[in-house]
Amino acid sequence: MKTAEIDDVLARTLEDGRLSRGEKKALGSLFGGDTTDVESLNFIRHRAFAMARDHMSDNQGRQVVDWLEELIKVLNAAPAPDEHPSSTSAAYFSPGDACLKRIIGLIGNARRRADICVFTITDDRIARALRQAHERGVALRIITDNDKANDLGSDVSSLLRAGIPLRVDRSPHHMHHKFAIFDGSVMVTGSYNWTRSAADFNAENLVVTDDVGLLGEFQDVFDGMWTELGAVS
């Protein structure tokens, strides 16, 4: 790809001062993968930094960009980690309280933030743990399905009254995810619904992992959905 073509692609993504999810995917497809060697990627980074400098209105801003570019070079020169870094994962199953206890334990251990994206919340024990986390200063964000939010026994209203930020899917289809990310370092996912019937009767599963790659992918999905969905009125 010629320099002018690279500049044109970068300029179009710079127009609104942010990278949308679609733009990230497009850039990844265009510049990533096995077809782009390290030297080419370094040149693309150089052009991106040059373009950023051109958009700066003061010298101090350009100095910051200079510093950032040098820092990126140092980081790129650092020894690469193992291609498959070690991670810790565990599986839990219901009926029984194994899944419930693990979820409540992770909520209780959260110190900074928890992003939760679940189809339904009707288990008062989990809702109580979420309210307690909110009260001790954990930054919670919850996404759930709009239809299930209005079900008899749903704890969504109590979480809203507690002041916990919550958004619901408003599409004609169900938001059927069941995952949560705690402090950006560990996540849970699986078939397990956050309901009493899931603990008491259903055959369900829950996987807990600190795999960095999976955490990043799930966090991107959550952040994208949170941006797209409006706050509950």
Residues taking part in catalysis: 176, 178, 183
CA distance 227 to 229: 6
CA distance 101 to 208: 12
Q: Is the dihedral of CA 106, 110, 115, 119 positive or negative?
A: positive
Q: In what order do the strands lie in the sheet with 166-169?
A: 89-94, 204-209, 186-189, 178-182, 113-118, 139-145, 166-169
The 3-state DSSP class for residue 148 equals: helix
The 3-state DSSP class for residue 102 equals: helix
CA distance 134 to 130: 6
217 in Cβ contact with 203 (< 8 Å): no
